[in-house]
Amino acid sequence: MEYVLSTLKPEKVFYYFEEITRIPRGSGNEQQISNYLINFAKQNSLEFIQDDALNVIIKKPGTIGYETAPTVILQGHMDMVCEKNQKTIHDFEKDPIPLFIEGDFIKAKGTTLGADNGIALAYMLSILEDQEHPHPPLEILITTDEEVGMKGALALDGELLEGRILINLDTEEEGAILVSCAGGARVTAKLPLDVISNNNSYETYHLSIRGLKGGHSGIDINMGRGNANLLMGRILYDLSKIVEYDLIKIEGGSKDNAIPRESDAWISISPKDKKKLEEKINQWSSILAHEYHSIDVDIEVKANKVVLANSIRLSKTTKDKILSLLLTIPNGVQSMSPDMPNLVQSSLNLGVVRMEEKHIIFTTAIRSSVKTLKQHMINQLESLFTQLGATIDIYGDYPAWEYKEESPIREIFQKVYQDIYGKDVEVKAIHAGLECGIFAEKLTGVDMVSFGPNMWDVHTPDERVSISSTERMWNYLLAVLREIQ
């Protein structure tokens, strides 16, 4: 198979990135990529560990003159968010990511790219193979299931690692280093469905929302982008005030850590109400075009008549509960940090609405840099869901990474950036969750920083990574490692 990225530099980094894009590695489907990493270690005669969670640790001694330098942990995650446009034909369990180059960007055709966190893996494999550049003793830590609750990091035995300097490679902004992040949790609610026979005199329509940008539910939550699940709830609630209709099915989003871009609902109405439905959908097309005129400029709302084999509908009681939930559930930014300008402190994202045979599932990602506020949001959801008769499951709880006043590794990153670029690197906190909060608890006294190249629209099919930034941040990493003696 031809390599699309073969002309790019640094050659090894882009070679390994493309290798990785050919291996299935959606969250929960990481056996192949984990085994690939182990085989790489074997081929390069490196010490390795693969634990029960499929986390991989690969160790490499320091180069000449760095044998006694402090051990550095380079860390990233092997899984990726698997999102695609509805019309894109792609099987993430077997198909390579369809890469292409456009100017300074690497993109994928209609799917997520997996640069989050595939570039980190490419960096680490390149360093492990490299025999030219000096570096201290290295422990490469590549975790699983980061995108669905950091399960690999939570399962990791900290005793397997000696290093107390950790460089996390899961940041998406050149010129900035991260020194703090939010904690988080997932809440899934299951609402029982009460179904009854469909009204055979009614006609069925498919309502759809398309064209939203979506985005990362932490990094992009303050961008004001539309949440397709909530917008569908608004439309259905408003429609219920002028038309008697039956709700057959509703679904939207596929990942709780991605702002949902698309939503679908199937309803049945009396033929006499067809015009009212069309007028209401046209009205909402105008409303949303106005509300999101500078944010989600391609938003579309449509209603198309369809024929369904399904002969059941949801009872009015169940329909009313669903509409009530979608209309009132807390979502988006809840509070801003009082200490760091423009930093989101707490947020929620209703990322998934999905129907099963007997239940409708609502999954929300919660983030906060304050533990008590995180619990408050969990309590809010628990109260709302239980009042409506749903059962809830709280999981994937991970801690925040708190800022440290003294950090030698941060000072090295600052010095090296100044030496290379003649300006200060920006020291930032992030609302997204990083595994660093977990490592702070598992690795007593660890000193950490996170950085990476420019990426945009991760967790969406518009994801792209800068080629030139990837090269610059590779050189930055090599320079930082050279400085640690």
Structure tokens at 141: 């830590």
Residue found by looking up tokens 């699983």 in the block? 144
Residues 6+ apart with CB under 8 A from 93: 24, 26, 29
Nearest-CA neighbor of 81 among 463, 402, 484?
A: 463
Secondary-structure breakdown of the chain: helix, strand, coil percentages, each rounded to the nearest 5? 30, 30, 40
Residue length of the chain: 485
Catalytic residue ranges: 79, 146
* Inter-residue contact 443 to 165 (CB < 8 Å): no
Look up residue 252 and give its amino acid: G
Question: CA angle, corner 55, sides to 53 and 60, nearest 5?
Answer: 155
Per DSSP (E only), the strands in 172-257 are: 176-192, 195-197, 203-210, 215-216, 245-252
* Residue 142, CA distances (Å) to 40, 116, 117, 155, 257 in order: 13, 13, 10, 13, 20
Residues 6+ apart with CB under 8 A from 400: 180, 181, 182, 183, 368, 369, 370, 371, 437
147/27 Cα distance (integer angstroms): 7
Nearest-CA neighbor of 389 among 196, 192, 187, 188?
A: 192
* Inter-residue contact 147 to 257 (CB < 8 Å): yes
Count the Cβ atoms, other than its own, within 10 Å of residue 57. Answer: 22
What is the full DSSP assignment across 94-112? TSPP-EEEETTEEEESSB-
* Inter-residue contact 331 to 350 (CB < 8 Å): yes
